[in-house]
Structure 1
Amino acid sequence: MTLHQDSRTRRYEGREPVVPVEVDVKALVTSADEPDGLRLESVPEPRPAPGEALVEVHAVAVNRADLLLAARQPPGARLGLDVAGTVVRAADDGTGPPVGTPVAGVAASTGWAQLAAVRTDRLAAVPAEVTPTVAAAVPVAGLTALYALRRAGWLLGRAVLVTGASGGVGGFVADLAAAGGGAVLGWVGTPERGRHLTERGHRVHAGYAAPPQGAVDVVVDSVGGPVFREAFVRLRRGGVAVVFGNTVRADLVLPPDWGHARAGVRLEHLFLLDELERHGADEDLATLFGLVVDGRLRPHVGLQADWTDAATAVRALLERRVTGRVVLTL
């Protein structure tokens, strides 16, 4: 595997580089001077821990979590969770994919760079049928959707209401819930935002001012505020609500009889990064990529841009002008 960067070339063979030439690694970092709050600059070459593989990055996804972290970081801080690329140095402890394997996974907020060290328990091989752009769209959103539905439990024959279904995670929740036998209804803000869902065969209810009617067994929510309350009150006895986001940045308010009127109801919260601290995700990522190949999980990349034009992607995501996933290619 050869890594080309500007006029410098470093060749990786096996686990150790054979030419001790320092590589000029570029990365997107936080900036107080740029309109989008990001800039490209040189950073030290990653030094992987024994359980990390060194990945030459070809595509990354932009998550709201990345932007929330960016707002809290000082200038020059590293960013980036979703990465897709090729292993150029296998993990020293013998775990994970070998050199030359196309992979995707979750980096430790250092993924928006030409090289990233990624834990092998958060990394999986990508099938040949899956492009780097699609692969980068899967890890964070796909794992969040998968773990949210695991919290919900049995889905076969159950009515599942997904708020914010036009977003990257919401679309995955709809796909996975349908694959599990659920009767899925995606709740979106406008008909235009739900178009890609209807094209994938999902039922869609458009408009947050007029809630959908009828009882449901499962609510998976990423919107928060009044939308979550309206979804919650539609739960049947014994139902479950799983919350993984709050795009409106409003308090979650439940009716006074929230539990009494719905005996056995469960309310769960999912935070992916905390979830990943408790168990590995390599097998789950492999499962998700298998579902992509099978056509049961259909990543929707609403915007693809070169990483030198990250401002376009960031503005589109923050202004809600894009549905599905936002991906930067290197």
Structure 2
Amino acid sequence: MKALVTGASALRLDSVAEPEPRPDQALVEVRAIAVNRGELALMGQLPTGSRLGWDVAGTVLRAAADGTGPAPGTRVTALAERDGWAERIALSPTRLTPIPDGMEYPAAAALPVAGLTALYALEYAGTLLGRSVLITGAGGGVGRMLVQLAAAAGAEVIAQVGSPGRADGLRALGAHRVEIHDASGGATGEPVDVLVDSVGGQVLADAFGRLRPGGSVVCYGNTVREELRLPVDWGHARPGLRLRYLHLFDELTRRSVARDLASLVRLVAEGRLDPQVAAVGSWTDPETALDALRGRRANGKVVLAL
């Protein structure tokens, strides 16, 4: 079978061994895959010929031999074990959930990493009803899901982006205000109760300065790859502050992935969550779609169809 693997300078389609499911794994035919910035980072770190891929959607070809999980023919979305960019993969039923017939595969593939990250981040943020939530990096795949979920929970959502082009559509998703980060620095803007950050560096430091006492900070990334420097009185000036870093793949060891994916699928099916698929390309020619993600020209998720 074919799979996308790392090459000398770009991804390439190559022949790989067919998966051999364990008794507790289903065999899934992949129909769409989503790309995350974490995978872009891995491309330059892994040896040539390495497999990639977390977000997938497809159809169960063979159910798990132990009798768990969905039957053959079931359409599913799933979180793969970094081998999802292939024609077929073996998956534990604990990492997948059925999707309704009306849900397109690209939308389903966009859900696992971004949706679960947003879901868990807001859980750690605490009660959102009536509170103000500042979301940095709001123009990306996770950020756009955060905006929707926080607004649905009753928060006053402030969506912060790095450039005007990244702000497109955020108000329609539920953002009460959209801000462009001031690169000159400083804690500009009104105080907030909750900060959810993926950017790191100066963006996080500036946003941190706006937190009220008793506020919450949840960080799930550091896209600028910079060290964080907080003010000397960072804790004393904000008594009761809660600060948490969310590492999705560590988090998954303590979570029911299938149940949480099912919750996201239900929200999409009910029209309460839009996966925000910004671009769909072909996995036979992935570089155009990947370049849009690298250059931050895709406001949402980038998906490849098989």
Shorter-normalised TM range: over 0.9
How far apart are the structure 1 equivalents of 2:117 and 2:188? 24
Q: 1:71, CA displacement in angstroms?
A: 1.9
Structure 2: which amino acid aligns with 1:258?
A: W
Q: Which moved more, 1:116-125 or 1:199-208?
A: 199-208
Instruction: Name the residue aligned to 2:285.
Output: 309
Q: Which moved more, 1:159-168 or 1:275-284?
A: 275-284
Instruction: Name the residue aligned to 2:300.
Output: 324
1:205 aligns with 2:179: yes
Scaled by the length of structure 2, the TM-score of the pair is 0.96
Q: Encode CA deviations 1:229-269: one digit per residue, 9 max, x unaligned.
A: 11111111111110001111111221111100000101100
Give the structure, 1 or 2, with the largest relative contact order (CA under 8 Å, sep 6 or more). 2
How far apart are the structure 1 equivalents of 2:238 and 2:35? 38
Instruction: Name the residue aligned to 2:195.
Output: 219
Three-state SS of the structure 1 residue aligned to 2:14 is strand
Instruction: Name the residue aligned to 1:283.
Output: 259
Q: Encode CA deviations 1:193-242: one digit per residue, 9 max, x unaligned.
A: 11121233423112343765111111000011100011111111111110
Q: How many residues align?
A: 303
Alignment map for 1:30-109 (pairs within 5 Å): 30-32=6-8, 35=9, 37-109=10-82
Instruction: Name the residue aligned to 1:155.
Output: 128
Larger radius of gyration: 1
Alignment map for 1:153-192 (pairs within 5 Å): 153-192=126-165
Q: Is the 8 A contact 1:48 1:117 kept in 2?
A: yes
Q: Encode CA deviations 1:247-302: one digit per residue, 9 max, x unaligned.
A: 11111221111100000101100111111122221010000011112222111111
Runs of 4+ in 1 over 3 A off after TM superposition: none
Structure 1: which amino acid aligns with 2:238?
A: R
Q: Is the 8 A contact 2:131 2:193 kept in 1?
A: yes
Q: 1:73, CA displacement in angstroms?
A: 1.0
How far apart are the structure 1 equivalents of 2:236 and 2:68? 49
How far apart are the structure 2 equivalents of 1:51 and 1:197? 41
Indicate which of 71, 81, 86 corresponds to 1:113.
86
Structure 2: which amino acid aligns with 1:93?
A: D
Root mean square deviation, CA, Å: 1.3
Q: Is the 8 A contact 2:157 2:174 kept in 1?
A: no
Structure 1: which amino acid aligns with 2:144?
A: G
Q: 1:118, CA displacement in angstroms?
A: 1.7
How far apart are the structure 1 equivalents of 2:23 and 2:148? 36
Instruction: Name the residue aligned to 2:268.
Output: 292
Q: Which moved more, 1:100-109 or 1:208-217?
A: 208-217
Three-state SS of the structure 2 residue aligned to 1:226 is helix
Structure 2: which amino acid aligns with 1:260?
A: H
**Percent of aligned pairs sharing the same letter:** 55
Change (3 A) 1:304 1:121: same
Alignment map for 1:224-243 (pairs within 5 Å): 224-243=200-219
Q: 1:129, CA displacement in angstroms?
A: 2.3
How far apart are the structure 2 equivalents of 1:322 and 1:131? 19
Q: Is the 8 A contact 1:188 1:208 kept in 2?
A: no
Q: Is the 8 A contact 2:151 2:174 kept in 1?
A: no
Three-state SS of the structure 1 residue aligned to 2:164 is coil
Unmatched tracts of structure 1, length 5 or more:
1-24
1:143 aligns with 2:116: yes
How far apart are the structure 2 equivalents of 1:278 and 1:208? 38
Q: Is the 8 A contact 2:147 2:173 kept in 1?
A: no
Q: Is the 8 A contact 1:205 1:212 kept in 2?
A: no
Q: Which moved more, 1:308-317 or 1:237-246?
A: 308-317
